[in-house]
Amino acid sequence: MPTDTMPQSKPMKLVVTGGAGYVGSVCAARLLEAGHEVTVVDDLSTGHADAVPDGARFVEGDAAETARTLLADGFDGVLHFAAKSLVGESMQDPGKYWHGNVLTSLRLLDAMRAHGTPRLVFSSTAATYGEPETAPIPESAATRPTNTYGATKLAIDHAISTYARAHGIAAVSLRYFNVAGAYGRFGERHTTETHLIPIVLQVATGERDQVQIFGEDYPTEDGTAIRDYIHVTDLADAHLLALEHARAGEHQIYNLGNGTGFSVRQVIEACREVTGHPIPAAVAQRRAGDPAVLVAASDQARQRLGWKPERTDLAGIVADAWRFTQDHRAAAHPA
């Protein structure tokens, strides 16, 4: 795997919660390649044990409960990925999100405080903004989440700000836009898939007959919703930079996206080109809570972290996801 463009920093001893999940596993792999010592904590409720990268220590268990014991050993920081992250589910079962996301994060913050763990990098989300008033969205935009998932992540961001100030924790929240692509053997494989690119690729593999386009009456050029797709490796590298730039007592918040939006139809077209499959599509109702356009202004991350996304081409992002999908299917169903 390429390591040439990887951010360099002094080796740290780190806990990665949710390191058996999609973004967490890619980040854990990049951290190891950069020379850090990584302990993955994951309850495997949505992650996969075989996604924990080689070289990481793996402890199976609840993020907060396990960290409470682990952190006593003295760690330089925590990267907190473990979370419930399905928007639809968060509306049907809000308690699962308030307990699973907010309570767990508060307990983790308390454990960090108790053991003097100095750094935290937190996976926040564009869903904290809700329906945006401007595009692209800067960090100064109003935060009015339209779903429980975004509300829980925003509540955690508020808690982190106060803990950072009061207890000197060096904290960085990264607000992800639409994460896509894969890195080596690490990629997106959810039991319940709701994300556009993996669903479209499932049509190409024959697992689904067609993709549904959720709404064609948005105020956009082709009528379908626009999102900012960011390669998971670029996203992971922002975490490495965040660790380096975290400052005691400060809570920095950065949006992470490419700053370019693609419509649902453009994504499907890119998948057709990459896979060579016709990918039938049918227009369906809008999905509740979906904003028309979500595009990031990531100038802050570029200026203050020195972050520069390297893999911004949509076809390239889709090609990496497609290679991962094919490799994973071949491993799951050997010929």
Q: Which residues are catalytic?
A: 149
CB closer to ligand UFG, 82 vs 169: 82
Beta strands 211-214 and 251-256, pairing class: unpaired
Cα-based distances in Å from 204 to 191, 207, 313? 18, 8, 20
> What's the full length of the chain, in residues?
335
CB closer to ligand UFG, 118 vs 223: 223
Measured distance CA(274)–CA(225) in Å, rounded:
21
**Least distance from ligand UFG to the Cβ atom of residue 101, Å:** 12
Measured distance CA(301)–CA(254) in Å, rounded:
6
Helix (H, G, I), strand (E, B) or coil at 59: strand
**Least distance from ligand UFG to the Cβ atom of residue 301, Å:** 15
At residue 168, φ and ψ (nearest 5 deg) are 75, 15
Rounded to whole angstroms, the maximal C-alpha distance in the chain is 58
CB closer to ligand UFG, 66 vs 258: 258
- In one-letter notation, the amino acid at residue 267 is V
**Least distance from ligand UFG to the Cβ atom of residue 149, Å:** 6
At residue 214, φ and ψ (nearest 5 deg) are -80, 85
**Interface ranges with ligand UFG (CB under 6 A):** 85, 87, 125-127, 177-178, 194-196, 199, 211-214, 225, 227, 264, 287, 290, 294
Alpha helices in 77-119 (DSSP H): 87-92, 94-97, 104-115
**Least distance from ligand UFG to the Cβ atom of residue 34, Å:** 26
CB closer to ligand UFG, 147 vs 252: 147
